[in-house]
Every structure is written in structure tokens, then in C-alpha cells.
Amino acid sequence: MSDSTFLDADRLAGLRARLRSGTATTTAAPVPDAPAPAAVTPAAPAAAGPARSALPDLGVIFFSGLTDGTDPYDLLLDVSRYVDRAGFTAIWTPERHFTEVGGAYPNPAVLGAALATVTERVRIRAGSVNLPLHDVLRAAEEWALVDHLSGGRVDLALAPGWHARDFVLNPEGYEKRSLLLNEAREQLQGLWRGTPVPRRDPAGEVHEVLTFPRPVQPELPVWLTTSKNEDAWRFAGENGLNVLSALINFGPPELRKRIEIYRAARAGAGLDPERGVVSLMLHTYVGTDRARAVELVRPAMTEYLGSFVGQHAGSGQAELKDKSDTLLNLGDDRDAFVEMVFQRYVSTSSLIGDAGSARTVLEDFRSMGVDEVACLVDFGLPKDEVLGSLARLATLIPQEV
């Protein structure tokens, strides 16, 4: 689909001229990428990835908490019960702070504990824990508890965090967040295996601290959350981590390149290049007719994409603020810009359509090396539409004999 679809050619030309004079991009929704982690000693390999098949595994991810005026937790619980029965692989919940969009999800461990009690088989995943905001001892305690409640179904995606406002929780950690992520990730994996962490008490005495409860799983499966940062993909491969990504400011051809970098890095570190798991977040709605599906999601999706403009302004990162300022200064052209982003996003970077087009999209991403698609469902549609979409999508999941 052309990126000029549904836009008057003259107006699109003028809009592009204005965009090219600034720093905005029209390739995807304008949201940030996680910075590349600093190098650390290689960790043990992650758990083996899923068996290769024609389609990726399917999971569900929550991110925005937008539910057409209804209770976001009602949607979360009902969707979780459904996907647990229908053969989906995982449920991902995020960590987001101090923002209306996504503010329903400040603590994925609390959400994971709730989901563990209403599901039986689906993996309970954080997508993601912003680890530099937390004491690693508390993170180990909380997620070991969820591992017990779920019978050993916990997986964690870890991220450094990106929005400066979030770091009111740890102001000193913002500038060194990538380094802190790596240090804390190694400590978290060590604590999970039973390696104590030295800590000093108020009297100055050093204690070797081991957290409890002890988890069910002997190893904690870990994903690194990143988008277009090639160094982060390479780091994940070299250190035996899985990857959680989204098509943010880059498209499918660039994704293929990054997956190749990741697989090559695993091979270079002596790891099976095909066993690392690449999970990709895609906005998802599967209807009975592709054109009708696109029109149904248009109001919710355009509002969702436009909401990122305000988040950029206070992110604390100069490049993102410049991008936000450019978008805010578009004036009457802002709606046209969001529509252009919507059209490109739907046509290249989403799972929005009917079951036939969904299968084609999934096959394409599988051919690039994507192991799992995390279907983002909470971007403003009514609950019955979300559940109906998942039921149609579930017809693509191979059924166990």
C-alpha cells in the first residue's frame, strides 16, 4: 500500500516538504528506542526457543490500557482467560508510570500474580521491567513469588527505561541506566540461580543476601527489550538473551537485518543461532473483512499514534523532543501526518485485517526469523471486538492432537 493512500497528493507533497525541513519521520509511530546496553561478561544461554514452524507462536501484549471507556483490568483478565484456553503462548504486561496512556500498568509483577491465578498454561511475561528503577533484591523476590503462583511460568523482558519523568523513582540512575540494567540483570539471574548478593546494613556490616521464596524454575528466561538499535541486538545475541522488539521508527526490511545481526552474534558466541527467541509486538485486530477491520480500528489507532507526541516532549532526550516539537508545529497538517503514519503502520507493521491477510503477515515475519508475535490488543477497541478478533486469530494456531 502506498504511503499516500487516502491523502490528497498536493497536500501530501506540502506535508512532506514541511516534515523534511524538521526531524520527524514517517516510517512508523514516533516513539523511542531503548539505548544500547554496555558490554558485560556473557551470561548463560537462555532457555531453548520454540520449534521452527510456518507461523510464529502467538502471544498477547498489553501496553496502553485503552479500553473504550471500560475497566482495563476487566479486559486484561477476560483476554487472559481466553488465550490460556485457546493455545496462545504468552501474556505480556508492561511497566509504565505517570502517564494516562499505559498508566493502568505500573507493576507487571502485581499483574502477573493476578494472571497466574486465572490461567493454567500460558507463560506470564513482563514486557518489560525497567530494571534501573528497582532494587534488584525486590525484583527477585516479587518475580519468584509469581513463579510459584504460576507453577513456573515466568519470563521477563528487561529494559533500561527511557522517559526522564519515570526516573523520579531513581533520579541518580537516569544517565547510567544502560549500565545499571546490565549489572542488575546479572545480579537478578544470579539470585534466581541461588547466588547471594553482598549488601551493607545500617551498621556497616556486609551480608550475603539470598532472596526468598526460591523460584520454581532453575533458570530465569530473559528477553532484552529494544527496537532499532543494532548494538542492542548484537549484545542480546552475544549474551544468550532473547529479544522483545517493535517496529518503532523502522520497518520490516530493517527488522530482517537486525535479526541477522542477532543470529550471527549468537553463533559468534558459540550459541545455537536458531535457539534465541525473537518476539515482535504488533497491533492486532482480525476481522471478517480486511477493509472493514481497517476502518474499525482507525479512530482508536489514530488517537493512539497521536498520543505519543505529548510523551516525547518530556522524555528528557533531545532527539525525541525535537521530533515532538516538529510534530506539534505541523498545525493543520498534524491530522494528515497521523493519517499517513496510520496507513503505513497498518499496511507494513501491524496484524490488522482478516484471517487470510493475518496469515500472510505472520508467514512474512516468520520468514524473517520472528519466533513469536505479541499481539497488542488494548488500544481502544471494545472488549467484545478484542475477544472476537482473538477467536479468529486462534484459528491459525495449530491444535494439539
Over the stretch 72-95, which tens digit does the pLDDT of each residue have? Answer: 899 999 999 999 999 999 999 999
C-alpha 191: how far from its chain's center?
25
**Cell numbers that stand for 145 in this block:** 513469588
Dist. CA 34–CA 102, nearest whole Å:
17
Q: What percent of the chain has pLDDT over 70?
A: 79
| Cβ(356)–Cβ(392) below 8 Å | no
The model carries a pTM of 0.84
Dist. CA 293–CA 86, nearest whole Å:
22
Q: Which of 360, 228, 309 is nearest to 29 (CA)?
A: 309
Stretch (H or E) spanning 298: helix 290-313
Dist. CA 365–CA 372, nearest whole Å:
9
Please list the residues that pair with 68 across neighbouring strands: none
Name the residue with cell 524538521.
Answer: 22
Q: Compute the average pLDDT of residues 196-223.
A: 98
Dist. CA 154–CA 56, nearest whole Å:
20
Dist. CA 12–CA 25, nearest whole Å:
14
3-state helix, strand, coil in the chain (%, to 5): 45, 15, 40
pLDDT digits (tens, 9 = 90+) for 350-401: 999 999 999 999 999 999 999 999 999 999 999 999 999 999 999 999 876 4
Tell which phi-psi region holds residue 306, choosing left (phi > 0), alpha (psi between -120 and 50) or beta.
Answer: alpha
Residue 17: the pLDDT is 59
**Cell numbers that stand for 53 in this block:** 514452524
